[in-house]
A and B are shown apart, each in its own frame.
Chain A
Amino acid sequence: MRLYAHSSKCSGCRACLVACSLNLFQESNPKKAALNLIAYFPTPGVYEMKVCTQCGDCAEACPTGAIKLNKRGAYYVDFAECNLCEACVPVCPEKVMYVRTGLADSAWKCNLCGDCVDVCGTSALWIAS
């Protein structure tokens, strides 16, 4: 199971980012979300979504074993075991592996909670195998 995104349906609203940070960190802060949308404006005037494909490259790169599998079968970061070495960040093909030390004391990533899907009004996001 993994998250899918149809970039052409994305409107750039960022509701997904708020829902994500609320689930991951219990905070309303889109900068602490584990997916991303990139705005290409003024031209060509489209949005591009970046979501975790559950490829597992981050888990493989993690030297402390902080990136584990949860009961949904998705990789997630165990905040207690992350040492902020950032080995995971450059290996993520979608660039959705996050370390921002000003915002959190751990790396973070998508754990497939599905809240983003629930708030997306244009059905640009969905979960499937």
Chain B
Amino acid sequence: MNGYGGSILRVNLTTGQITKQPTPPELGRDFIGGRGFGVYFLFKEVPKGADPLGPENKLIISSGPFSGMLIPGAGKCDWTTKSPLTGGYADASMGGHFTAEMKYAGIDTIILEGASPKPVYLFIDDQKIQLVDASPLWGKGALAVEKELKDRYGEEYQIAAIGPGGENLVLYACINHDYGRQAGRGGVGAVMGSKKVKAIVLHGTRSVPVVDLKGYRKAGMALYLACKESEGLAEWTRYGTTIVTNWCDEVGALPTRNFSAGSFEGGPNIYGQTMRKEIVITDKGCFGCPSPCGKYSSMKRYNTMVEGPEYETIGMIGSNLGIADIQAVAEANRLCDDLGIDTISAGGCIAWAMECYAKGILTRVDTDGLELKFGNIEATFEAIHKIAHREGKLGNLLAEGTKRAANKIGQGSEKFAIQVKGMEQSAYATHNATAMLLAYMTCDVGAHHNRSWAITYDLQVGRDKVVPEKVARIIWLQNFRPMFDVLGSCRLQWVELGIDRDLYLPALEAITGIHRTWEDLEAVGDRIWNLTRLFWARENEGFGREWDLPSPRFYEEPPQTGATAGQITTFQDVQRLLDMYYEQRGWDNNGLPTPTTLEKLGITAIAV
């Protein structure tokens, strides 16, 4: 099938049976790939009410038609599942080189189903596919396991692995690849751990056929030229996403001490410029990327190295924990990576716990003796360790995520569990930034920024404005941006370098043979958006508006310090944003897609 790997690989871990089916062309036509394939299989094959950590849940890994091709940033695969953290839809986009190798191995989607009685790893080498005993690897760090498997099989083999976090079913456990890339959020690593799959070893040597070779090469070269000629390429490459750290601090978007403020007095110690000077040694890129955002760093104090930290980790484990020390943040990043837990959720959970500690809601008895104060680096390292191993009272509490932890501890701590739908909010403080607040409220995995980043837009239109244009912008971004997760390539060349997105269209047509406009692609995006919404509704009794509400911190507690001191959104505005959002999306007043909307999108026979 032109542009595709060609097959769906099913691995039943209960029976050990492995089957390969040709990818149906209609699937490529209607759902295109990546996140599209993920939502299709999730809806079709995971039964309603499935335990996310049980054998009925599936982990669906999909490449897309751009993956592995001559396309800038062609290195993304999508990991879809029912989230153990939120109980709803989750997908995580993983960079590196895994997705390209899937295509060369002739695979579009890997579906992990059932559960293995013993630890295994999935070994794929062109046509040779088998489950191998992973008992000797069980318990080891994800980075260590990658090294061991690469040494065993060869550098050409791509590895994705869980650490103890996934093995111990930490609800925000992640999956690691290429020494520093993750399928990060939603607990995809816990699902993999619940199936006792320690790693996937992947190698493929085939080429990917395309319909129009000349057209494909011409379009691909034009995309690379646009990237190389983009203004800002040097700066984006120099700093990666850390380019925004000082600016977020300046505009009150840098989460500080559990999102109590948006500016951090220790900011300069963790700015991108400081990081570049102190620890960065290599600009590291995913497959095909002309603007490598990965910053491979060396922390002399700890005698360790890590890919990172990127902006999110700096925000969530730096300023959000009151830690003004870039080496410490980098080391915490490395611990999370090796132990296999999402840095964003880990930072959110530890920050919540630090605030509880400051307020006396958690004491040293509850923290297993840790002095869990904001700014305490050693306690942070210890906490990360405890979480990954579910060790002690603290580890077990925080491994559940802030929503469950706060519900358990009570005493008003629910009010400062900074989460939406059970997922910890990522690193943009939204005390007074209504478009971005709406983005977090309505993101379809929980409070993540990936779908519709709108900080500058808020500043351009007016931070506190609650106007239909803001809502329209968020909806457009939500229909458009995730299409990169469908196509199997990175959004950052459009997002950061600002290249003309029309340049992608001739490439897509030359590869797949199907002519599509951005209007067509956004229609697919709109359909997928409604499907993920329906999945939430199907899996969560009483799902609706209540689930879209943000943390009360953003409508009750103006920051005392920083750029947004004294500023706060009102609850009334929160509700107004949702009213406008539901109306523009064609959903009812409770936030559920109406039958008219579903019909318009061509979603008819869906079991809700």
Contacts and interface: CB of A to CB of B under 8 A. Distances in A.
Interface in A32-47: 32, 38-39, 41-47
B289 A121 contact: yes
A119 B290 contact: yes
Interface string B207-241: 11010010001001100110110000100010000
Contact of A45 (B100, B205, B281): B281
Nearest to A38: B155
A26 B213 CA distance: 7
Interface stretch (B56-64, B185-193, B291-299, B576-584): B291-299
Contacts of B97: 14
B147 interface: yes
A11 B225 contact: no
A119 B219 CA distance: 12
Given A31-B205, A46-B281, A122-B283, A15 B70 contact: yes
Interface in B154-199: 155-156, 178-179
A27 interface: yes
A81 interface: no
Contacts of B155: 38-39
A18 B510 CA distance: 16
Contact of A119 (B100, B205, B221): B221
A29 interface: yes
Contacts of B288: 13-15, 18
Contacts of B213: 26
A42 B282 contact: no
Contacts of B221: 115, 118-119
A74 interface: no
Given A22-B217, A28-B68, A12 B205 contact: no
B143 interface: yes
Contacts of B276: none
Interface string B62-88: 000000111010010000000000000
B509 to A, nearest CB: 16
Contacts of A42: 143, 147, 179, 305
A126 to B, nearest CB: 13
Interface in A14-65: 14-15, 18-19, 21-22, 25-32, 38-39, 41-47
Contacts of A14: 97, 100, 287-288
B224 A121 contact: yes
B512 to A, nearest CB: 13
B282 A13 contact: no
B600 interface: no
A18 B207 CA distance: 10
Contacts of B143: 42
A118 B221 CA distance: 8
A29 B287 contact: no
B69 A28 contact: yes
A120 interface: yes
Contacts of B220: 119
A80 B223 CA distance: 34
A128 interface: no
Nearest to B97: A14
Given A11-B292, A118-B224, A41 B179 contact: yes
A21 to B, nearest CB: 8
Contacts of B228: 121
Given A18-B69, A31-B104, A119-B224, A45 B286 contact: no
B222 to A, nearest CB: 11
B208 A28 contact: yes
Interface in B101-138: 104
Contact of A13 (B156, B210, B286, B305): B286
Contact of B207 (A9, A27, A45, A120): A27
B282 A28 contact: no
B230 to A, nearest CB: 10
A26 to B, nearest CB: 6
